[in-house]
Amino acid sequence: MSKMNGAEAVVKMLQLNGVKHIFGLCGDTSLPFYDALARLDHGIDHILTRDERSAGYMADGYARVTGKVGVCEGPSGGGATYLLPALVEANESSVAVLGITSDVSVVSRGKYPLTELDQQSLYRPLTKWNTTIDLASQIPGAIRGAFRAMTTGKPGSAHICLPYDIQKHEVDAQDIWAQPQHATFPSMRSCAAQPDIEQAAEKLVASRAPVIICGGGVVLSSACQQLEALAVSLKAPVCTTVSGKGSLADEHPLNAGVVGTNGGVLATREVVQQADLVLFIGCRAGSTTTEHWKFPDSKAFVIHIDADPMVVGANYRTEIGLVGDALLTLTALNEAIAPQLNQRVDGAADGYAIVQKAHAEKNRFLQNWPNRTIRLSSPSASSTHLTVFCLPKPLWWPTQARLALIFRRISTHHRQVATLSPTVHMVHWVLPWRPEWVRHLVGPTPWWYR
């Protein structure tokens, strides 16, 4: 076949890039693409979803589990807007997801056709790579560019806008080829510079109490075994971000648990506080992980491993920046550390004991405050009972000013509120059954769900 139409070219390019599953649903501007999927022998399964948002998140989950690029598609207009949230999530989480949205015909632009939308402007600031195809001959290069961008360097999401008439125009079959390495992510990995790795090894061996903080980059890079080897050799506690859960098995004696404002507790904060060296791996050291850059504080000795050079040194003065893939860099770091382990400083902290103490404190805390969640129920059609069991002050608990504001708002409705004081442990609210009031009280993200 020397010639094919644009829709067939898209299917063939996806096939050559190793795509086996596509998630999405049809619209009128997507019909040529669906026709090509039905006619061609490509080995791709299309999973029909009820909603474009579901398609996007299914592709995200598929990519995280398989290490292959997740592909989702949807029609023009509202379909393009519904696909966007999942691509934003994938991009922020460094997950390779391709969103393909059909669009009105190129010749119809500016004539107010139904579902016309400037998709390229919509997706530009929220994806790693984004384009609108104006000529059928651009299709092969656009798809190669999307896969290259999604899988190399810091992985992320990409978007291709595919107009209806372009799907019917001819494409030269000789332009249909793909780079095999771009079928999975991260691809074309790079390792940090060897002199930097050797310097980092010396500092880690010389440190008295190193702590490792891992983000999702360790999991995405499949560097979990290398992380465990490093932690065990240094007897260093390992803390994770929420995205980094799974970097080290939860039951591992060196896993201290999640740190930061979303999931961290005082016990894990203390693990970070006692460190004389902090090694960040595959995380951005953002506000959530570091409790607004307080733990570790600005005086900490920081070594940072990340594939994205823009992350290293963004939030902390970084003594040694290791820009490279977590798997390759940790492998090289372990090789550099192994001959020096007999030079470990006397009196180095025992990470096993530190983690054991943190777990004991956390368990004791939870046992003393078993009713730590807020219960929302509707015992009758006329009232909502919200029973609030307050902790002494976990990391996420609202400030006293925030509590006072909530109580002032409740006071305009029926209420039974215990006296507000800094030591309040239980508050029982009764107010009429109006969900909009509940949303008004706590905002779009209820803090009892955190």
Task: State the SS3 of 42-64.
Answer: CCCEEEECCCHHHHHHHHHHHHH
By the 10 Å C-beta count (0-12 exposed, 13-18 middle, 19+ buried), 94 is classed as buried
Which pLDDT score, from 0 to 100, does residue 322 have? 98
CATH class of 194-367: alpha beta
Reported as a single tens digit per residue, the pLDDT across 271-284 is 999 999 999 999 99
Bridge-based pairing state of the strands 302-306 and 3-5 = unpaired
Q: Let me know if 418 is exposed, middle or buried by CB neighbors in 10 A (0-12, 13-18, 19+).
A: middle
What pLDDT was estimated at residue 450? 33
Q: Name the pLDDT band for 364 (thresholds 50, 70, 90).
A: confident
User: What is the residue type of 104?
Assistant: V
Q: What pLDDT does 404 receive?
A: 56
- Residue ranges, CATH 3.40.50.970, the chain: 3-183
| Confidence tier at 365 by pLDDT (50, 70, 90) | confident
Phi, psi of 46 (to 5 degrees): -100, 125
We find that the CATH architecture of domain 3-183 is 3-Layer(aba) Sandwich (3.40)
d(CA 202, CA 207): 9
Mean pLDDT of 327-340: 97
Band the pLDDT of 134: cuts 50, 70, 90.
very high
DSSP 240-288: E-STTTTSS-TTSTTEEEE-STTT--HHHHHHHHT-SEEEEES----HH
Q: Which ranges in the chain are annotated with CATH 3.40.50.1220?
A: 194-367
What is the per-residue pLDDT for 369? 56
141-155 confidence digits (pLDDT tens): 999 999 999 999 999
- Would you say residue 441 has pLDDT above 50? no
> Edge to edge, what strands does the sheet with 277-281 contain?
255-258, 238-240, 210-214, 277-281, 302-306, 320-323
Q: Which CATH architecture has domain 374-449?
A: 2-Layer Sandwich (3.30)
- Closest C-alpha among 106, 102, 97, 80 to residue 29: 102
* Ranges in the chain annotated CATH 3.30.1360: 374-449
- State the pLDDT at residue 434: 43
Instruction: Note if the pTM is more than 0.85.
Output: no
Q: What is the pLDDT of residue 346?
A: 86
Comparison of pLDDT for 431 and 359, the residue scoring more: 359
Residue 31: count of CB within 10 angstroms of its CB: 16
pLDDT band at 223 (very low <50, low <70, confident <90, very high): very high
Q: Mean pLDDT throughout 245-274?
A: 94
Min mean pLDDT across 36-40, 63-67, 346-350 is at 346-350
pLDDT the model gives residue 408: 55
Residue type, 177: W
What pLDDT is attached to residue 420?
40
Beta carbons within 10 angstroms of residue 244's beta carbon:
25
The confidence band for 407, taking pLDDT boundaries of 50, 70 and 90, is: low
Q: What is the C-alpha to C-alpha distance for residues 360 and 356, in angstroms, rounded to an integer?
A: 6
